[in-house]
Structure 1
Amino acid sequence: MAANAPAARAAKPAGQDVTDASELASDILRKTTSLLISGPRPHAAEQLDLYDGIFARLMPQVAAERLAEFSTALAGLERAPYATARQLAAHGDIRVAAPMLAKAAVLTERDLTDIIKTAGQSHLIAIAIRKQLAEPLSDLLIGRSVPAVRMALVKNLTARFSEDTYRSLFKSAERDDELAEKLGSRTDLPAKLSRAFVAVASETARARFIKAAPLAAQATLQATPTRSASAGMRASWDYSHIKAEVAALNRSGKLRDAAVNRFVHSGDFPAAIFSLAVLSDVAVEVIEALMDDDRRAELLVACKASRLSWATASMILRGRPGCAPVPPDELDEERIRFEKLVLSEAQWKIRFGIKAN
């Protein structure tokens, strides 16, 4: 009986060796991490490579819970071992990957791009909340078409969006009230896209967007007509009082810049619209449609095709009934575009390339 005692003491439950090895690896990982964080900071790439080698041996032996703690500890380092950071960021367990994806400065745009192309929703959201997220990464995230990722991006006030990304977000927000509200709270929204959104969004989305917007922008947005309101205004325009006068001016060669300028200055916008239609040789419905807030560029093409000066074209642009005021900086941009337009190209485009919608 006594002879069997050592054997009995030596017997271990199944899997005990694996558990002991995991605990030992976890302990070494914790101590090595502490040395990396608290000890002399490694500067040379060779030193970081040494840590990479150690971590590469230890990580496969450590449970996900410990790896998550390890990832959190390394994510805040300005210079973390690169191969280790990449391995943690690509880990299938979001608890392990999230700290790296959300914070690690060592990860390159290329690293994040590769992950965005194949990762699931949780990993994408972790990237979407990164500070100072660059435009190309935002574009890629939006391209994955995941609603929760869109929302995370919009809430990240440090993320940078291209105009195309903003267009996509506004399109999604037309019928998504919560997304519309979060968009409205951003201070970097392009003003012209905001006004275009307010014109077409559902009533609830429009209201929540305007309420969340900065106070300085709320009055302008509130004054922006909806698409249905603009259509109703066009339907009420009457040209019967002006047709004969415009026809007479045209026959005598006096339907020119000065005449259109006079119509706009006197507030007779139907006369100005009808004159533009005659001068550019298109149906009046085409010019009417260009009075919408989001068709300024095409309206300027019609003005150029009608041989109007910038002074008259800008009066038309600023005087459109029911449209929000054009900010001075945007008006300067429109002037530059107008002056670059070529008469022959504008005449061709208004006659064959622009339609009434």
Structure 2
Amino acid sequence: MMANSPADILVELEAAVATCPLDRCARILSGILQLLTGSRDRSQELLCGVVDGVLLRLTERVEVGALIELTTTLADLKVAPPRTLRRLASHDNADVACPVLQRSQALATADLAAIATSCGERHQRAIAARDCIEPDVTEALIKRGAHLFHALIKNPGTKFSEAAYATLAGADQDGEIAKALVLRPGTPDLIVRKLLSTAPAKPAPVRAAPAKPNASAVAPVQAVVAAPPKPPSSADYASARPEIVALSRVGKLNDSTVNRFAIRGETANLFTALSVLSGAPIEIVEHVMSDDDCEGLVMACRASRLNWATTLAILSNRNGPRLSFAQRERAQLMFETLLLSTSQWTVRWGEIAASANTGDPGHRGAKMGVSR
């Protein structure tokens, strides 16, 4: 009697599964799961290839509860039956698909990208929560809509291509996406600079022109006149300082926090943070923030131990005209070549401190005694 080949045996096994009672299918499925979870890596790889077709048949013959058990188990295996995994990942029922979509390391990138283009919202969010998301998958998710943008940006495992960054920037209506990307630690410095240089300028506050007693007797004037933003008041500093000092004491007065202050325009918090971090009085911080030359501000940021991305955010969000590309390049070169000790000495006791101290002796910062 001639022995059947392994392929013939598998065909017969699949055919048997297709006609066996449902309760028996569930028992077979449970037994295969035990084999998969109990085998070593090498034997597991061989076993996955053998049982893949049988598992595919079983997925058609068992109820949703058994499928959820199957997908939960396969999602945590480094090696899993590929065709069965794809079937489960693309299942219409999100309870079945999401464990594999979110956790499986065995699911191919191409399969994830293909599923992302057609799956439901729960499926999309499961993919967006993966520990590692390859650029092709990221691009596929971005094309599905803005509801996934922030989830992808907040996930440290997301990998963005240049095309993905361009799509996000093009869809940014209110600047919130740019802010999130600038604050994201993994965003490349070049992208940060592009985002900051193209961010919409904040509208200047306006005040109504005084009422005219006789409009026909005077020359026409503009209805509104732009007023330059006022620096923080003593009350603003007094309100900001306790929180800033508390953040510093617990080690949370860092680049991310200061970057957020700059982008959101929280001037009192930003000025106070630079004062606390650099050890310079608040009047020196105000002086370098208002100086047309950015050299003093770059030194203050370097003295505060901030990184270049945060420094650029501060430079790009202060009052006055935006820096040109050449000015930004010069500022970065200065930042990268400055010694920390030199920067700290200059903003505390050097020429920058002397320049600030020659101003109004009744300065509110001096009155407050806001120096560290």
Pairwise TM-score range, normalised by the shorter structure: 0.5 to 0.7
Q: How does 1:86-125 map to 2 (within 5 A)?
A: 86-125=86-125
Q: 1:163 to 1:191 in 2, by over 3 A?
A: same
CA RMSD of aligned residues (A): 3.7
- In 2, Cα distance between equivalents of 1:195 and 1:28: 58
Match of 1:210 among 258, 263, 266: 263
Matched, 1:54 2:54: yes
Matched, 1:151 2:150: yes
The number of equivalent residue pairs is 223
Mapped contact 2:134–2:158 kept (Cα < 8 A):
yes
What residue number does 1:160 align with? 159
CA deviation map 1:98-145 (0-9, x unaligned)? 12122222222221232223223222222222223222222232233x
CA deviation map 1:211-264 (0-9, x unaligned)? 69x9533343122157x9438xxxxxxxxxxxxxxxxxxxxxxxxxxxxxxxxx
Indicate the structure with greater helix content. 1
What residue number does 1:175 align with? 174
- In 1, Cα distance between equivalents of 2:34 and 2:200: 53
What residue number does 2:313 align with? 221
- In 2, Cα distance between equivalents of 1:224 and 1:121: 37
- In 2, Cα distance between equivalents of 1:202 and 1:61: 60
What residue number does 2:196 align with? 198
TM-score (norm 1): 0.52
Mapped contact 1:183–1:209 kept (Cα < 8 A):
no
Mapped contact 2:25–2:62 kept (Cα < 8 A):
yes
Shift of 1:186: 1.5
Q: Which runs of 5+ in 2 are unaligned?
A: 1-19, 204-258, 267-304, 338-372
What residue number does 1:245 align with? none
The amino acid across from 2:65 in the alignment is E
- In 2, Cα distance between equivalents of 1:196 and 1:174: 16
- In 2, Cα distance between equivalents of 1:69 and 1:328: 59
What residue number does 1:15 align with? none
Is the partner of 1:224 in helix, strand or coil?
helix
Matched, 1:326 2:332: yes
Is the partner of 2:313 in helix, strand or coil?
helix
The amino acid across from 1:197 in the alignment is L
- In 2, Cα distance between equivalents of 1:201 and 1:94: 39
Shift of 1:149: 1.9
The amino acid across from 1:27 in the alignment is R
What residue number does 1:302 align with? none
Structure number with greater Rg is 1
- In 2, Cα distance between equivalents of 1:75 and 1:324: 51
- In 2, Cα distance between equivalents of 1:148 and 1:29: 37
* 102-111 or 70-79: bigger deviation: 102-111
Q: Which runs of 5+ in 1 are unaligned?
A: 1-19, 232-291, 297-316, 332-357
Shift of 1:68: 1.8
Shift of 1:83: 1.1
What residue number does 2:131 align with? 131
Q: 1:24 to 1:44 in 2, by over 3 A?
A: closer
Match of 1:185 among 183, 186, 189: 183
Shift of 1:181: 5.0
What residue number does 1:81 align with? 81
